[in-house]
Amino acid sequence: MSTIDIELHSVSKKFGANRIVKNVNLSIPKGKFVSILGPSGCGKTTTLNMIAGFESPTSGEIRIRGRDQNGVPPEARKIGLVFQNYALFPHMTVAENVGFGLKMQGRSRQEIAAGTKRALKSVRLEGFENRYPKELSGGQQQRVAVARAIAPSPSVLLLDEPLSNLDLKLREAMRVELKEIQQDLGMTFVYVTHDQEEAMAMSDRIIVMQGGVVAQEGAPADIYGRPRTSFVADFIGKSNILPISDVGDAETGNGSLRVLLEAAGVPIMAAPMPGLGPDKARFCCIRPEAVRLADAAGALDEPANLLTGTIQKVVNLGAYLEAWLLVDGGITLKSMIRSTRLDKLVVGRRVELAIAHAAVQLLEE
């Protein structure tokens, strides 16, 4: 059983007349890497600031390790912070930066030295003690910022877009490092980002926010494979989102549901969505990698929809080809196909497509 580190109960935040966070309920399990993911302005930082104690909720309750935090100041919450613009002190060495929090807590010289050493070991920066921030790379500086935040042994680390100032290669390397640091420490990380790949790569759980509310919450594979709304399907990864009508409530033997693609009038079979009655489904989502060429090499060993269409456009992305396929009836599907199939993808050519029933996800809005 996992214990809960942080709970939000019907938390709302207003700035003036604007309700920025609306009735948010969350449970963040201890020792997990949890991401809050959403577009700019959806209330991620505001939510994090309320957990940290920099903002107080207009209504609702925040509990940390079971205790109501109303009136508890940030420094008493045992929380570490790493923010994008939380710069290191430039005039202090790495060791002085990392030891700063411990010094503020009034720890002894030995405790500060031991805590600093431990934190620098966690972020793999032993030997950098006497350098100044300007003598470090961007990634090393961010690791020092993490070491500074974890040195006072907080039980939770809040990170707000800590990698957004780094270039792509470094960001990708740091994702792996941060995840490893989190696992080594067994510490709860709450990680705010608007980068869906980052959230997918690192998280045990993802909380998707949209306009101040939680749009969906779950394991990364769940959010990607079972999005509930077109917002989530569109925000996480690439997808074909198609309006549907006439959802048949009669299931076939394998549990699939019959839906009609509205624009094309083409019937296809979709995966049933637990908790989403056929009458509630408005759209379906088909991931581009689920649109396959229906020849021997692309054959599926599960129940699949077979469609015919014409290749409209092909973009070579190296390992993959992105192809737009005009399906008979008038809808366009985007597909991701391995580059080894390049010879099959000739613009104007007629193709048969296979899409597994299970890959057609019904969406409620």
Ligand X SMILES: Nc1ncnc2c1ncn2[C@@H]1O[C@H](COP(=O)(O)OP(=O)(O)OP(=O)(O)O)[C@@H](O)[C@H]1O
| Inter-residue contact 130 to 93 (CB < 8 Å) | yes
Determine the Cα–Cα distance for residues 170 and 248; give it in Å rounded to an integer: 49
Among 33, 43, 95, 101, binds ligand X (CB under 6 A): 43
What's the min distance (Å) between Cβ of 45 and ligand X? 3
Contact range with Mg ion by CB under 5 A, out of 40-48, 91-99, 103-111, 251-259:
40-48
What's the min distance (Å) between Cβ of 17 and ligand X? 10
Nearer to ligand X, 41 or 255 (CB): 41
Q: Name residues whose C-beta falls within 8 Å of residue 131's C-beta, 6 or more positions apart in sequence.
A: 93, 94
What's the min distance (Å) between Cβ of 333 and ligand X? 31
Residue 15 in contact with ligand X, rule: CB under 6 A: yes
Site for Mg ion in 274-313 (CB under 5 A): none
- Helix 109-122 vs helix 138-150: angle between axes, to the nearest 10 degrees? 130
Beta strands in 18-146 (DSSP E): 18-29, 33-37, 59-64, 67-68, 79-83
Residue 46 in contact with ligand X, rule: CB under 6 A: yes
Residue 45 in contact with Mg ion, rule: CB under 5 A: yes
> Got the DSSP string for 304-319?
EEEEEEEEEEEEE-SS
Contact range with ligand X by CB under 6 A, out of 41-49, 71-79, 107-115, 214-222:
41-49
Determine the Cα–Cα distance for residues 195 and 37; give it in Å rounded to an integer: 7
Contact range with Mg ion by CB under 5 A, out of 44-52, 116-124, 244-252, 345-353:
44-52
| DSSP 8-state code for residue 227 | -
Q: What is the helix (H) or strand (E) element at residue 155, kind and residue range?
A: none
Site for ligand X in 190-229 (CB under 6 A): 194
Q: What residues make contact with Mg ion under the rule CB under 5 A? A: 45
Residues at the site binding ligand X, with contacts judged by CB under 6 A? 15, 20, 38, 40-46, 194
